[in-house]
Structure 1
Amino acid sequence: MSIDDYRPTFAVGAVYDLKAEDLLRQGIHAILVDLDNTLIAWNNPDGTQEVRAWLDEMTMADISVVVISNNSHSRVERAVAHFGVDFVSRAMKPFARGINAAIERYGFNRDEVVMVGDQLMTDIRASHRAGIRSVLVKPLVRTDAWNTQFNRWRERRVWAKLEEKYGKIEYQKGI
């Protein structure tokens, strides 16, 4: 394992900072997106108007969006039901299983896919294992579900090593 396995390709403030024209310019036609604290706050399953508008923008630009979550099928299904997006549950991130399942299900070209998430330890690491680009976003809320808190502790150590090697990670307003 190398510290490079945790380095995101891009870093943006929030998922809705990803604009369709920028994604298309980068050759991205499919977005795999984490659910909790990336697409929606883990404690607000209904999401926001900004997320709804972002999903509509992606649909209009013919960019596929698939949720990739470690949560149970019923939890993810309930959370995305009113968004009209498909999902892979029990993705087993940091392993590539869920990402590979989505790529195979839809026939995506790995060069045209990006994984968006709020955690270096799961989302970014899984994207590297799957051989696709990644986008790190700031968590939507400062609190985490109990099972994420351990990852955040480990993540702080990895973050420090990344910044020691590459300098401070700056979140952009787009890619």
Structure 2
Amino acid sequence: MLDFMRPQYYAPRISAVDPAELRDRGVRGAIVDLDNTLVGFSSTAPLAEDADWVARANEAGVRVVVLTNNGTPWAAGVARDLGVPCIAKARKPLPHGFRRALRVLGLAAHEAIVIGDQLFTDVLGAKLAGLAVILVEPIVRRDPWNTLPLRWAEGIVLRGVPRV
């Protein structure tokens, strides 16, 4: 069970993921979480290096779609400013949102990868939808109150797992 919960890859930040390397591995699309993956908790916009990652991904031929449980107009606005589609209120980890993202990208599961910062939403949802996943460290260590119990459980599941 615990192996099913573990991501295939780790990265300190989304900006550390090389889009050209993804493309070389056959990845044509990235399904990217918003909160604490592209934009830090309580921030209003992505940092320059994270916004630049989206542009680099597109240049490398890796299309990006934002998949978020956030349903605010702000979430759609961030994606619009980045020039990518947004699937809000995704209800992760349920696989429906991930499948919808694949339809938006026009790709099969083996052609896409999920990038997110949470084990119980991004990683579990990706695995349930048959997608590979990169777990990134959260941009900031502060989370909304409803995420704190999941972060605690995440620490238990990932204890002793090397993040390389």
TM-score (ref. length: structure 1): 0.88
Do structure 1's residue 94 and structure 2's residue 93 form an aligned pair? Answer: yes
1:170 and 2:149 matched: no
Give, in whole Å, the separation in 1 of the partners of 2:16 and 2:94: 26
Residues 38, 51 of structure 2: 8 Å contact kept = no
AA at the equivalent of 1:108: L
Cα deviation per residue 1:13-40 (whole Å; 9 max; x = unaligned)? Answer: 1101111221012111100010011011
| Separation in structure 2 between the aligned mates of residue 105 and residue 60 of structure 1, nearest angstrom | 18
Q: Does 2:142 match 1:149?
A: no
How does 1:80-119 map onto structure 2 within 5 Å? 80-119=79-118
Q: What SS does structure 2 have at the residue aligned with 1:6?
A: coil
Match of 2:157 in 1: 158
1:1-175 to 2 correspondences below 5 Å: 2-160=1-159, 163=160, 168-171=161-164
Give the gaps of 5 or more residues in structure 1: none
CA-based RMSD:
1.3
Structure 2 gap segments, 5+ residues each: none
How many angstroms does 1:169 deviate by?
A: 2.1
Looking at structure 1, the residues matched to 44 and 77 of structure 2 have their Cα atoms a distance apart, in angstroms, of 8
Q: Report if the CA contact (8 A) 2:37-2:117 is conserved.
A: yes
Q: What is the Cα deviation at residue 78 of structure 1? A: 2.6
| 1:73 to partner: Cα distance | 4.7
The structure with more helix, counted as a fraction of residues: 1
For the residues of structure 2 that align with 1:26 and 1:62, how far apart are their CA atoms?
12
Between 1 and 2, higher relative CO (CA 8 Å, sep ≥ 6) is seen in 1
On the 8 A contact 1:11/1:169 being kept in 2, the answer is: no
Distance in 2, matches of 1:124 and 1:63, equals 20
Q: Work out the percentage of aligned pairs sharing the same amino acid.
A: 30
Distance 1:90 1:138 in 2: 22
Residues of 2 paired with 1:106 and 1:133: CA distance? 15
In 2, Cα distance between equivalents of 1:64 and 1:45: 23
Following TM superposition, the consecutive aligned residue runs of length 4 or more in structure 1 with deviations greater than 4 angstroms are none
Q: State how far apart, in whole Å, the 2-side matches of 1:5 and 1:70 are.
A: 22
Q: Specify the code of the residue in structure 2 equivalent to 1:23.
A: L
Q: How many residues align?
A: 164
Distance 1:110 1:18 in 2: 19
